[in-house]
Amino acid sequence: MTKDDMQFEEPEIIYIPDEDGNEEEFEVIMKFEVDGSDQKYMMVVPLNTDGDDEETDEVYAFRYEEEGDDLKLYTIDDEEEWNMVEETFNTLLGEMENSD
């Protein structure tokens, strides 16, 4: 199989301002809804813009809402909500790894 035969999905990139107002690039690695809830969540990883190829295992979770082209992100402050999101993420990750 050649490189041209493989279909790569274009990564979804979002920009999140840090506490100083500087926009940082993040790649969306997963979006999901939690069962029994109409809340939507996304998991993102920071993109290294300094040329450092070091793998990072920092994954950030946000609750989000989409209004047209606008994306509103909300941090997850509630420990119970965080545990639910983390459990769902780990379950989905496990399913993805098992399907390979």
Q: Which domain holds residue 71?
A: 25-49+57-100
Q: Tell me whether residue 78 is in a domain.
A: yes
pLDDT score recorded for residue 53: 53
pLDDT score recorded for residue 1: 44
Q: Tell me whether residue 14 is in a domain.
A: no
Which residue has 């993040």 as its token pair?
A: 26
Q: Tell me whether residue 70 is in a domain.
A: yes
* pLDDT tens digits along 60-96: 999 999 888 888 999 999 999 999 999 998 998 888 8
CA angle 60, 20, 85 (to 5 degrees): 15
Domain tally, the chain: 1
Tell me which DSSP letter residue 21 carries: S
- Cα–Cα distance between 65 and 5 in angstroms, integer? 35
pLDDT of 37 over the 80 cut: no
